[in-house]
Structure 1
Amino acid sequence: MRLAIAGDLHGDWTCHDERLLDQLQPDALLFVGDLSDGDLRLVKAITRLQLPSAVILGNHDRGKDRSGERLRQQISMLGDLDCSWKMRSWSMPPIAVVGARPCSSGGGFHLSEAVQSVFGPVTEEESVVRIVEAASLAPDHWPLILLAHSGPTGLGSDASSICGRDWKHPHIDWGDRDLAIALERMRQRRSADLVVFGHMHHTLRGGKGERVTFHRDRYGTAYVNAACVPRSGSDEAGHPLIHFTWVEFENCHLSLVSHRWFHPTGKLAYEQTLLRQPSPEMTSC
């Protein structure tokens, strides 16, 4: 099973992405949020994709509209693709994707006025419960993925940490506290196989190096930051490149995580492998 993950788009999504996906033919596509600043045309383009897809919205997606109306419009357009505090699953491929708190800006726990307008004054504990309850609906033998805009707390407090604050001092852990608590409670039943998020861009502020983008904890849960921004560029010869984070499961077990840069034709130009491990003996998903 092959999953393509689109990091923070920030409006960078064109027909070239759609044609590339036609060439790559992943089994499913995940969006980690910050699609744009509320551009409904981009949301509509995502809804037209002929792929099993799941979307969590990011802090930029609410735009400058504090009333929540633009956010509400996007959620309505996305329909079942929206994963806000919900599980999205497909039998083909057999996978369960659980959305965390929508429109997160990291930094512990905070709900913007727009989010409160749409979802109400959700407390941190209520957010935790919603995530855990959604995860409890996942079939035990299916891979379980948590889809968030910001990753959880507890993964480091350096500027280059996977969720580290790099834009001002002091550099601290800027993850989501409710997501970390939810992951801990979920372990009473089962651990998540993979937590996918963005928000904290790969290149550190001021050009001061690159961020760590992968982590695996002692419970076996893998964490990947997909926020390669900008996600389009060119190679040394000037040929265009498009980035997707790429994940593969074999026999329902995580076997590969990498960052990949493709030519629009589908040819792989560069790959940064974050995890590669052999699959266990054949099991049934």
Structure 2
Amino acid sequence: MPQSVSIAIVGDVHQQWGPADEAALQALAVDLVLFVGDFGNEDLAVVEQIAALGLPKAAICGNHDAWYTATPWGRRKRPYDPAVSDRFQAQLDALGAAHVGYGKLDFAQLGITVVGARPFSWGGSKWRNKTFYRDRYGIEGFADSTARIVAVARTATQPTVLVIGHNGPKGLGHQPEDICGKDWNPIGGDYGDPDLSAAIAQLEPELHRQGKSLPLVSFGHMHHRLRHRKDRLRTCLVQQGKTLYLNAARCPRLLDSPAGPLRNFSLVTLAGGAVTASQLVWLDASQRVVESEDLLAQAEIRAEPVPPGPKKVRKKVRKKAHGRASGRFFWFFLDLLNPHPA
């Protein structure tokens, strides 16, 4: 196993993927790529490109990847006949074993097991799409979902366990700027997944007893660009105990600039079962890194889960930013000039 592992996390794609992205990942020389879903509205062509990526990878699908399948509204709007061509199932077939929703993938050469949370999550504490989850996965609610995630994680064969979900876990804050905070009306509230937080709470002590680590939980869904204010972006990295929670949904992930299109990836370096570095990088058309934000230096530190409720804001302790993090303001304003994906 290598002394360190370089991982790229690709946030919500929303159809912004092409050959230049694979070239960028090759230039970054990453060992593993994690996709957190929302490739498009059941966009099979995009999913097939990602499935063909010639690098070790794991993926989980998001709510947009079941846009015309999971809800009655979506099925009424479906632009294709599933009896003729089932794009939803074709996505899963294309990804094959790389799709780890309610599953896992062992990367023995890296000493890593990637465990998938609930696929196609919309987020929040309301159990949505009951028929979809019952018929597709035999899951009847949050308790069933937690049990499925835990059962799969217990089969991990590698010493370092990573969890990916489309949405993050509940318990990381209820302010709209928090990593999974609700930033649409009515403003505020924790929109994390309660089944994922319950699964992590069960798994952490078990993994510790087995001599395994859970250094990273990565996800997307809650876009960094906030709906209710434009003077800042969402918190994207939280450290709680020995686990880092990374929201990779910097959307749109492709930006126009005077020098041409730029694309972003969230990077994590693992060594000794722990995260030692994390950046958000932007690459230009020549696969050159033109800006890098030190995410680890900006991480919000939480000593314990934050209970839900709007009454009192728990004081947050932040590490002092350093390095090139100040460059984030340029990219923040550039981001504002680009349209937000649906």
Query: Offset at 1:206?
Result: 4.5
SS at match of 2:251: coil
Structure 1 counterpart of 2:56 = 52
Structure 2 counterpart of 1:248 = 269
Of residues 63, 78, 85, the one that matches 2:95 is: 78
SS at match of 1:205: coil
Mapping of residues 138-217 of structure 1, within 5 Å:
138-139=156-157, 142-190=159-207, 192-208=214-230, 209-217=232-240
Structure 1 counterpart of 2:337 = none
Alpha-carbon displacement from aligned partner over 1:60-83 (angstroms, at most 9, x marks no partner): 111223469543221122110110
Mapping of residues 255-266 of structure 1, within 5 Å:
255-266=276-287
Q: Do the aligned residues in 1 keep the contact of 2:215 with 2:273 (CA within 8 Å)?
A: no
Unaligned 5+ runs, structure 1: 277-285
Unaligned 5+ runs, structure 2: 76-81, 208-212, 298-342
Q: Do the aligned residues in 2 keep the contact of 1:58 with 1:149 (CA within 8 Å)?
A: yes
Q: Amino acid of the residue matched to residue 252 of structure 1?
A: G
Q: Do the aligned residues in 2 keep the contact of 1:231 with 1:243 (CA within 8 Å)?
A: yes
Go from structure 1 to structure 2 and tell me whether the alpha carbon gap of 1:27 and 1:15 turns closer, same or farther (over 3 Å shift): same
Moved over 4 A (4+): 66-69
Deviates more, 1:12-21 or 1:66-75: 66-75
Query: Offset at 1:253?
Result: 2.3
- CA RMSD in angstroms comes to 1.8
Q: Do the aligned residues in 1 keep the contact of 2:11 with 2:249 (CA within 8 Å)?
A: yes
1:96 aligns with 2:119: no
SS at match of 2:214: coil
Structure 2 counterpart of 1:220 = 242
Mapped to 2, the partners of 1:206 and 1:187 lie a distance apart of 35
Give the alignment's TM-score, normalised by structure 2.
0.76
Go from structure 1 to structure 2 and tell me whether the alpha carbon gap of 1:233 and 1:23 turns closer, same or farther (over 3 Å shift): same
Mapped to 1, the partners of 2:223 and 2:18 lie a distance apart of 20
Alpha-carbon displacement from aligned partner over 1:140-161 (angstroms, at most 9, x marks no partner): 6x22111000000110011100
1:119 aligns with 2:142: no
Structure possessing the higher radius of gyration over alpha carbons: 2
Q: How many residues align?
A: 273
Structure 1 counterpart of 2:315 = none
Q: Amino acid of the residue matched to residue 279 of structure 2?
A: S
